[in-house]
Structure 1
């Protein structure tokens, strides 16, 4: 089952200095699943053995 996009709420994203929109962990948790795109704030992304994302 594919996760459905969620309506944006305050705190769901921010813009980088380059103008890219970045979703926060808050948005990803509400969405409910990982999309597999390697998102910066994905709460399901596996960490490397040394503890780095």
Structure 2
């Protein structure tokens, strides 16, 4: 499977940085799944769980 570079950052530090297959995030606009080949994305998150594969 194709992978991509994913970084989860807060104003204070990088929380996660690595190659992943997919990420499901609780964005303020609703839950989003990101796969390899997705356009670059910056999103505001709401409280919830981030799933990284």
Bigger radius of gyration: 1
Question: Common fold, TM-score beyond 0.5?
Answer: no
> What TM-score does the superposition give when structure 2 sets the normalisation length?
0.19
Bigger relative CO (Cα 8 Å, ≥ 6 apart): 2
Indicate the structure with greater strand content.
2
Indicate the structure with greater helix content.
1
